[in-house]
Amino acid sequence: MFKKILVANRGEIARRIFLACRELGVPSVAIYSEADAGAPWTRLADERYPLAGVSATESYLNQAAVFAVAAACEADAIHPGYGFLSENAGFAAACADNGMTFIGPTAEAMEAMGNKAAARALAEAAGVPVVPGVDGAGLKEGELWKAADSIGYPVLIKASAGGGGKGMRVVESPAGFADALQAAQKEAQSAFGDDHVIVEKYFTGIHHVEIQVLGDQQGNVLHLFERECSVQRRHQKIIEESPSPIVTDDLRQRIATAAVSLAQQVNYVSAGTVEFIVDGVGNFYFLEMNTRLQVEHPVTELVTGLDLVVWQIRIAAGEALSFAQADMYQRGHALECRVYAEDPANQFLPSIGEIVWYERPSGPGVRVDDGIETGTQVTPYYDPMLAKVITWGHDRRGAIAKMIAALEQTVILGVITNIPYLLAILEEPHFVGGNVSTHYLAEHGPDWQTNEAMITEDWLAVAAVEVFLGGQKSGGRGAAVSSLPFSQPDPWHLTANWRNVQRG
């Protein structure tokens, strides 16, 4: 086992990794930017070191600075979490050059799967179904236009490098292809330094289903079942669950087998995720592979009982998996909601400022992964996700009910959050029915609005009353006082002590 692990990340995922290190008895090291000085997640590490600057480029993406700290504190392993350097094959290789272990897949596997065009070719070689399309490498605009016409509209133009919805354009007809191609290439060049694109058939009414895989250095690769990730805004997931309500036993077997075959094709080691789209009749197509830990990994942990971060560390240290595929099965149902500092009623614009009051939910079957506390400053420098609320139930209905209760207990004052938006989704009949596509939010919530806004002073008054009354925020829907100043303005949502009748 390692003698010391440096976590090259921040926020809730850094906290998550520190906890895994504690479980294994391995000392951990936090690095933090100037903007994150004093952040609560840094206190869980055994050692803490500052990085100059506030932007990601100056700090968490600064490989020289990261290696300098690792060398100074004598760390022999680096865990990248997700985002930042987690899928940087050059960084993974540089870890070895600096005498440190990268806790994740090999640089070779990351390179093979990090390029969407190369990953597509590997999927085909492994016998995995791929979306009809064409690799745009070396092709001129006219050739791509003809290819799109042959594939049939609508088509999707997407960057070969990177992800997160950048460099993506949906084209409904030939008339819009040229402009969409130029826009996608320009955005891809800006975001990833590479304007290489792929043109694929764009399916409507499809589901985003992904398979968690886990491989060790001894050649064992297995799957940990599926996650449903179709509830997305701007290609970003906000609600994930396992099992998927649309996956049958037969489909589960076929899609999981395909994911394992692809992972074996690249000798995959560590945790990874193979993403697919699934149509309405059970056909599935390879989308991409994420060669890292996923944001939504907790739902898999809750239904399998495995600690994925602990196993990432054990595998990187050379341990073999102590269980086989036959030992794995899904228990109950898990759901995750991502809580963002953003305004869903205003184009999901990020909200910055101080969190003046924070309370996380609790109770049986409720887990919260966060990196904030009362007094935390939400800055414009990093992703606006504040926390992940995860619930487990014996069935999907139970997991949803627990999630609604948990979000109603969550109190975040000082910034606008998406909690009211998440609650609206969880109670919407189509979502409750369990058959929503990746277009669900565009179809059912494009003009979603909160109720009439309350002023800041009113919210602070509510918070003060709650404190004086003993913090009774957990007694009902009133606990969904979730953001300041525009969320939950109606009096039913203000406080657990509100009544609309006089009591004699």
Could you say which of 120, 169, 292, 367 is catalytic? Answer: 292
Q: State the Cα–Cα distance between residues 72 and 211, nearest whole angstrom.
A: 38
- Is residue 372 exposed (0-12), middle (13-18) or buried (19+ Cβ within 10 Å)? buried
Q: Which two tokens stand for residue 352?
A: 């910055």
What dihedral do alpha carbons 214, 392, 356, 423 form, nearest 10°? 110
Please report the pLDDT score of residue 502 as a whole number: 33
pLDDT, one tens digit per residue, over 97-114 is: 999 999 999 999 999 998
| Highest CATH level, class, for 132-201 | alpha beta
Q: State the Cα–Cα distance between residues 209 and 243, nearest whole angstrom.
A: 10
Instruction: Enumerate the domain spans of the chain.
Output: 5-103, 104-130+203-331, 132-201, 339-504
Interhelix angle 116-125/107-114, rounded to 10 degrees, is: 100
What Rg, from alpha-carbon coordinates, does the chain have?
Answer: 23
Hey, how many other C-beta atoms are within 10 angstroms of the C-beta on 141?
Answer: 13
Tell me if 237 sits within 8 A of 247, measured CB to CB.
Answer: no
Residues 6+ positions from 60 with CB-CB distance below 8 Å: 8, 9, 10, 31, 33, 51, 66, 84, 85
Tell me if 482 sits within 8 A of 488, measured CB to CB.
Answer: yes
Topology annotation, domain 339-504: D-amino Acid Aminotransferase; Chain A, domain 1 (3.30.470)
Please report the pLDDT score of residue 468 as a whole number: 55
pLDDT, one tens digit per residue, over 19-71 is: 999 999 999 999 999 999 999 999 999 999 999 999 999 999 999 999 999 99
Task: Enter the DSSP assignment of 319.
Answer: P
**Residues, the chain, total?**
504
Please report the pLDDT score of residue 38 as a whole number: 94
Domain 104-130+203-331 identical in fold to domain 339-504: yes
Q: State the Cα–Cα distance between residues 476 and 329, nearest whole angstrom.
A: 35
pLDDT, one tens digit per residue, over 143-194 is: 999 999 999 999 999 998 866 678 899 999 999 999 999 999 999 888 888 8
Half-sphere exposure of 157 (CA within 13 A, CB side): 31
Half-sphere exposure of 108 (CA within 13 A, CB side): 6
Please report the pLDDT score of residue 487 as a whole number: 36
Tell me if 355 sits within 8 A of 369, measured CB to CB.
Answer: no
| Highest CATH level, class, for 104-130+203-331 | alpha beta
Q: What percent of the chain has pLDDT above 90?
A: 80
Q: State the Cα–Cα distance between residues 30 and 5, nearest whole angstrom.
A: 9
Hey, how many other C-beta atoms are within 10 angstroms of the C-beta on 291?
Answer: 28
Name residues of the chain where pLDDT drops below 50. Answer: 452-458, 471-504
Topology annotation, domain 5-103: Rossmann fold (3.40.50)
* Residue 338 a catalytic site member: no
Residues 6+ positions from 83 with CB-CB distance below 8 Å: 9, 13, 383
What dihedral do alpha carbons 54, 296, 376, 355 form, nearest 10°? 130
- Is residue 329 exposed (0-12), middle (13-18) or buried (19+ Cβ within 10 Å)? exposed
Please report the pLDDT score of residue 451 as a whole number: 67
